[in-house]
Structure 1
């Protein structure tokens, strides 16, 4: 299932990860491992934030994906299932008007 992984990084912890050269390593290894469809990075509510779109084949992958961000960046993690336009079209087409 296509998922959106939102990573909200603690500023102090991510500052330290940058100083130690670990932030980019964590992000790059995650993007490779997930074979991410897309990834975007911004600031949200004053925190470094990443949005990664990928296919989650098995929910048991979630701890392996999340823990590097919890342990190394004191991050908050959120997963949301998402659809592309074709999937949305298919889903809406399946709705039968009453």
Structure 2
């Protein structure tokens, strides 16, 4: 199942890691472990942020995706299930529409 992981990173400890040169290694380790399909780094409410698209087979995978961000950056993480257009086509919306008229 595809999930979007939305991450808001506070200024600290990220700033300290940038200053001491460790940020690249830490970020590479997290991304290597989580293996996102894609990742976008962006601003979120005045803070650093990232949006990752990841595939999970089971909800038990969620801690392994979120904990690195919590533990290394004190980040906030939001998770949302996401569908591709093909997934939406398989959802049976026509049947749901007639069921819930």
TM-score of the superposed pair, with normalisation by structure 2 = 0.81
Match of 1:82 in 2: 82
Give, in angstroms, the shift of residue 93 of structure 1.
4.7
TM-score (norm 1): 0.83
Q: Which consecutive unaligned segments of at least 5 residues does structure 1 have?
A: none
By how many angstroms is 1:35 displaced?
A: 2.6
Contact 2:7–2:75, Cα closer than 8 Å, also in 1:
yes
**Cα offset, 1:96, TM superposition:** 4.2
**Counterpart for residue 58 of structure 1:** 58
Q: Which residue of 2 aligns with 1:95?
A: 96
Q: Is this contact kept in 1: 2:4–2:54, CA < 8 A?
A: yes
Give the gaps of 5 or more residues in structure 2: none
Task: Provide the aligned C-alpha RMSD in A.
Answer: 1.9
Larger Rg: 2
Which residue of structure 1 lines up, in the alignment, with residue 42 of structure 2? 42
Count residues in correspondence: 98
